[in-house]
Structure 1
């Protein structure tokens, strides 16, 4: 059997995904064959895999840290929220159903065989699988049928290291409280703990480490200081979206309720000349924006209504009248058109709504999801772009005659005759350095060259160095078997 270790958190957003990526890179550099695995993830930031499915973006980053192509078995269950109470359920890369939370709670135990099957496959030929939990095992009200945390660890007999987030406070209670509420069989699976996101002098928490160790019996495995360059890595959690300031070029992005694949913005945020400002609900879109990007959405029609409710449609029209440029990606592209039709009720009750009217195109939602890794050419310059498509709608209309991408040999995207407004379905296009420079120059925003891909790799190496210094990797390997 392949060795495995599971990183769980004493709460959500404690930094599990980043720790798994950093540990994976550290162990690969030691010469081990490592693969990531997350039984169940919840995110609208998805990645298209080499084997034609979709997984959470964090597992794609972790695969990169391991030097592997992302595969559906790395994240066999993905929940993509579509409303406050329901989500699309992806199983082994493909759409399984759209379920309300209560109904999913009744169904999830039936997904354990698929989870264990994927775990077994992903471990074949590997020295170690690093498993990431979801949320917190302290949510014992969800323990029945659990596949994300202790339910999986128990079924697969995988030892657990629990991570506490000291930045949010109360970390001793997070860890000791988790131990207190777990049933004994689950408690026995936890072998160690670590503290993440520490600011200041770590020696000040040595007594705290001893208190947790004494009360739980777990091995203390380190105090990990705040990793300042975390923002340079693609983020998965919507809580991690933040503005990046300092550049002379101002790109504005409205935060949609169901924003999806927002890692499209990461290469722009990493570009030294660029400021990316995320606009929260209740704020106007700034009048000094150079470019406004409408990002992807998991629920285009609902997010369009939210967009209008903030008055952003009025702000956008004013931006266009001032000569400002607009780019819509995927759901944002659909919003820019004349109409959006959902005759089958894919996003809710069957409906048709008016779009923002800035592009002469219309969209029809269709049940068949388009999932593809795609190679494209930016037609104005011939720059190569690699990205992915992940969408339900089909968009057509006169402005598609002004396509600005050639995608696997076919025309893609739409634009106004003067090129001021553009839209397309291709995610990840800004990761291509040459395209990013050419596109921004075309809208009057020239930038200096920045190697985004190398920056991500360098940051993963820096994160691995960070964990080699502050995390007890030897004990991690010993716990794994």
Structure 2
């Protein structure tokens, strides 16, 4: 069946963006196309139309295809909870939590689900574009592999190997990858492409020819750096930029160690008159911060300990005394309360952890996970918005009497008596231009909002045109078919 897989010589070579661009290019050619990633590791998840969750990169790729995201697009999602363990989500639903050492035994049993999902997409579309994970050169992980060559061989999908020239050493990346692959896996590779070139691509002509001659793989082009990449939702929290703004309302987000579902920040980073800072470990909260965001977390109690280790609890208390605003989203909302209780050890060792005490609420964790899309109304601005919930735990307390929003006729979230500290379980609310503008207006930001979703669509079109200019798209589609 028509399919093509983009694998990389390493992580962060631009596979996700290449797949998104190829999906949009194929759609503009009149093809029904769908994205697929057998296994993803990310705490940045999207709630799907069929009520599950997948990696947010695949949700963006679905948008590039003009499709609603569904769980088949990413059948295995690993969500790290600790340095050595992760939650395993299969076809949109939590299967188990396992240590990394034990996942090697579990992984081969997941291939059936992976192939089922892939085959459903194949049957429904003209073309499926597959994204690998990490690199096939990690041959120590080859046994039982479902993410790269293990999948490509089982599904008989041709592979294009992408290398990142921006980080240097791309010739060695390509030649070295071929050198360590087994003959069967190397046979799956049908060509290569070079990504993220800065300057005149012709300067790499000799290197390009060397790779082709040494490997015997045909080249499909050298893709220059895509300057509009910042307009697309970031896959990694530290990739979020502040956009063009250099002054104005200063929004500071705490980059927690298990930060999750940080897509709330992309629209803010592109809003005129707003600058966003991702505060990383070891940095103090800037004194000029106007709004501090505590984002979602895959391990609320673990990230409370991380937050306190950075001294951010002291900084937040000082920010509060200065009259600064604070917004906690999902796990960040739970942290703002007086305590977080996990009696069954859902997210780690069982126990209770004192919260920051900035909202008069308490959270109790439970095994039930809430996964739903939602339309709500922000009570302070009376503006409607759409978002989604993806969390465990229930939060109650006196400040819930002043809810942040109303969703389906029920109160949602909590607000401090002076309205400066806000908490909500709703992600994605800032995508709504009207709501975002209204909330920021209350913080002193004036002027019209950028149309965020329209900007993403325009950036996807520009990405497709960029790839059409520099890559052999005809050759890639012919290879897939």
Q: When the two structures are superposed, what TM-score results if normalisation uses the length of structure 1?
A: 0.98
CA deviation digits over 1:279-318, x for unaligned, max 9? 1111100010011011110011011111011111111111
Number of the residue aligned with 2:93: 94
Compute the displacement of 1:96 (Å).
0.4
Work out the CA distance in 1 between the residues paired with 2:240 and 2:189. Answer: 31
Number of the residue aligned with 1:252: 252
Compute the displacement of 1:125 (Å).
2.7
Work out the CA distance in 2 between the residues paired with 1:156 and 1:238. Answer: 32
What is the 5 A alignment of 1:145-294?
A: 145-244=144-243, 245-294=245-294
CA deviation digits over 1:81-138, x for unaligned, max 9? 0011110000000000100111001110000000000001112231100000000000
Do the aligned residues in 1 keep the contact of 2:44 with 2:261 (CA within 8 Å)?
A: yes
Work out the CA distance in 2 between the residues paired with 1:417 and 1:444. Answer: 20
Work out the CA distance in 2 between the residues paired with 1:98 and 1:78. Answer: 12
SS in 2 for 1:105: helix
Do the aligned residues in 2 keep the contact of 1:420 with 1:443 (CA within 8 Å)?
A: no
Compute the displacement of 1:16 (Å).
0.3
Number of the residue aligned with 1:119: 118
Do the aligned residues in 2 keep the contact of 1:292 with 1:325 (CA within 8 Å)?
A: yes
Number of the residue aligned with 1:474: 474
SS in 2 for 1:228: coil
Compute the displacement of 1:248 (Å).
1.2
Work out the CA distance in 2 between the residues paired with 1:341 and 1:347. Answer: 10
Number of the residue aligned with 1:460: 460
SS in 1 for 2:136: coil
Q: When the two structures are superposed, what TM-score results if normalisation uses the length of structure 2?
A: 0.98
SS in 1 for 2:128: strand
Work out the CA distance in 2 between the residues paired with 1:380 and 1:286. Answer: 27
SS in 1 for 2:228: helix
SS in 1 for 2:348: coil
What is the 5 A alignment of 1:353-392?
A: 353-392=353-392
CA deviation digits over 1:386-439, x for unaligned, max 9? 111000011010101100211122111100111100010000000000100111
What is the 5 A alignment of 1:54-73?
A: 54-73=53-72
Number of the residue aligned with 2:40: 41
Do the aligned residues in 2 keep the contact of 1:273 with 1:448 (CA within 8 Å)?
A: no
Do the aligned residues in 1 keep the contact of 2:51 with 2:371 (CA within 8 Å)?
A: yes
Number of the residue aligned with 1:398: 398
Do the aligned residues in 2 keep the contact of 1:72 with 1:92 (CA within 8 Å)?
A: yes
CA deviation digits over 1:35-90, x for unaligned, max 9? 00000000000000000000000000000000000000000000000011110000
CA deviation digits over 1:311-368, x for unaligned, max 9? 1111111111111000000010000000000000011111101100000100001100
Compute the displacement of 1:243 (Å).
4.7
Q: Which moved more, 1:418-427 or 1:382-391?
A: 382-391
- 2:21 counterpart of 1:22: yes
Work out the CA distance in 1 between the residues paired with 2:385 and 2:105. Answer: 43
> Structure 1: where are the runs of 5+ without partners?
none
Compute the displacement of 1:224 (Å).
0.6
How many residues of Structure 1 are paired with residues of Structure 2 in the alignment?
480
Work out the CA distance in 2 between the residues paired with 1:64 and 1:163. Answer: 22
Number of the residue aligned with 1:323: 323
Number of the residue aligned with 2:136: 137
SS in 1 for 2:129: strand
Work out the CA distance in 2 between the residues paired with 1:269 and 1:213. Answer: 41
Number of the residue aligned with 1:107: 106
Compute the displacement of 1:242 (Å).
4.5
Instruction: Check 1:418–1:238 CA distance in 2 against 1; reply closer, same or farther (3 A cut).
Output: closer
> Structure 2: where are the runs of 5+ without partners?
none
Work out the CA distance in 2 between the residues paired with 1:80 and 1:347. Answer: 11
SS in 2 for 1:102: helix
Compute the displacement of 1:250 (Å).
0.6
Compute the displacement of 1:447 (Å).
4.4
Number of the residue aligned with 1:309: 309
Work out the CA distance in 2 between the residues paired with 1:60 and 1:401. Answer: 35
Compute the displacement of 1:441 (Å).
1.4
Number of the residue aligned with 2:79: 80
Work out the CA distance in 2 between the residues paired with 1:321 and 1:171. Answer: 51
Do the aligned residues in 1 keep the contact of 2:249 with 2:444 (CA within 8 Å)?
A: no
